[in-house]
Amino acid sequence: MSLSERDAVFTALADEHRRVLLERLRRSNGQTLSKLCEGLPISRQAVTKHLVALEEASLIVTQKRGREKLHFLNPVPIHAVAMRWLRQFDSVKLEVLGAAPGGQAKGPG
């Protein structure tokens, strides 16, 4: 995964509404725009904008079925970020975080 692809994933995940859309697709994959809009406090146009951002980050893929466009979760980029970038922080010992005053990790030196 390139740096720009990783940044696109983090940027897409930074928005609460996009995370809600991903969670809805995780629970029930292959939803239409109308179904994804149900119960959200934002406009249909805003949902469309968020779906475009998720698609550009490869977090969702779409498929046309007649006049409908179905949206599907693509967990591969999230998994790649978790495996290749977040995993490096697994080696940080949690005890070190608790040892510093105020629970803050001490810097080098």
For residue range 64-100, list pLDDT tens digits in order. Answer: 999 999 999 999 999 888 887 777 777 777 666 666 5
108 within domain boundaries: no
DSSP state of 69: E
Range of the domain at 95: 3-101
- Is 57 a member of any domain? yes
Query: Residue 82 sits in a domain of what CATH number?
Result: 1.10.10.10
Instruction: For residue 20, give Cα distances in angstroms to 37, 66, 107.
Output: 11, 26, 35
Cα distance between residue 9 and residue 51, in whole Å: 13
Quote the number of domains for the chain: 1
End-to-end Cα distance, the chain: 33
Query: Where residue 109 falls among pLDDT bands split at 50, 70, 90?
Result: very low
Q: Is residue 53 part of a domain?
A: yes
Q: What is the DSSP letter of 105?
A: P
pLDDT at 101: 61
- What is the pLDDT averaged over residues 7-27? 96
Q: pLDDT tens for residues 18-43?
A: 999 999 999 999 999 999 999 999 99
User: What is the spatial distance between Cα 74 and Cα 61, in angstroms, rounded to a whole number?
Assistant: 6
Rounded distance between C-alpha atoms, residue 84 and residue 59, angstroms: 16
Per-residue confidence at 106, pLDDT binned at 50, 70, 90?
A: low
pTM, two decimal places: 0.79
